[in-house]
Amino acid sequence: MLKKSLWKIVSLAVISSLALFALVACGGGSSSNSSAPKIDPMNMQIGNTLTYKNLDICVNEVETGIITYGNKELVRVNVTYTNKGKSDQSFNVYDWKAADNNGASRSQAFYLDAENELNSGSLMSGGSVTGNIYFDAPVSKILYYNNMFDKEASGIWNVG
């Protein structure tokens, strides 16, 4: 009987500790430098950096007018992730979508001649990765989703 009671107490303590740890870990936000100009993450320009949970995400450049073998026009978007935190951070090509002037958004396009394509993986503390993502033209906005299952973008860069 004493063993069952002790087991229940230990189990409850472990579960409570895990729940408290999860709440603290999920509540961690990013700090901002008050002297730096505030950038609206939903209205950024190419070259602006979004900091999301110690991960810097930047759309470095956008190249339009890429023509495929089937005379289809593509847009190349070059992005960089930099891990400023202490724990590993993930990156993924599926974090990105492009939207046109009508508000239709789509995932990346397949391009046979693609160079330095962004893929997916993890960044250790201080790590950085840069790669290209290709989208069907036209593109007026580049959308970043912290998680590919998110319904709303975490950051939006205006093109042009």
* Cβ atoms of 88 and 123 closer than 8 Å: yes
| C-alpha distances out from residue 130 to 49, 50, 72, 150, Å | 13, 15, 25, 22
Tell me, yes or no, whether 96 lies in a domain.
yes
Confidence (pLDDT) at 91 = 97
Q: What is the pTM of this model?
A: 0.76
Token pair belonging to 62: 């956008």
Confidence (pLDDT) at 143 = 98
* Cβ atoms of 141 and 156 closer than 8 Å: yes
52 burial class (0-12, 13-18, 19+ CB within 10 angstroms)? middle
Tell me, yes or no, whether 5 lies in a domain.
no
Tell me, yes or no, whether 149 lies in a domain.
yes
Tell me, yes or no, whether 80 lies in a domain.
yes
Tell me, yes or no, whether 19 lies in a domain.
no
Tell me, yes or no, whether 49 lies in a domain.
yes
Structural domains counted in the chain? 1
Tell me, yes or no, whether 2 lies in a domain.
no
State which residues form the domain around 68: 44-158
Please tell me the number of Cα atoms within 13 Å of 110 on its side-chain side: 2
pLDDT mean by block of 10 residues, the chain; 160 residues: 45 37 33 65 98 97 95 98 98 97 96 96 98 98 92 95
CATH code of 151's domain: 2.60.40.1240
Confidence (pLDDT) at 160 = 81
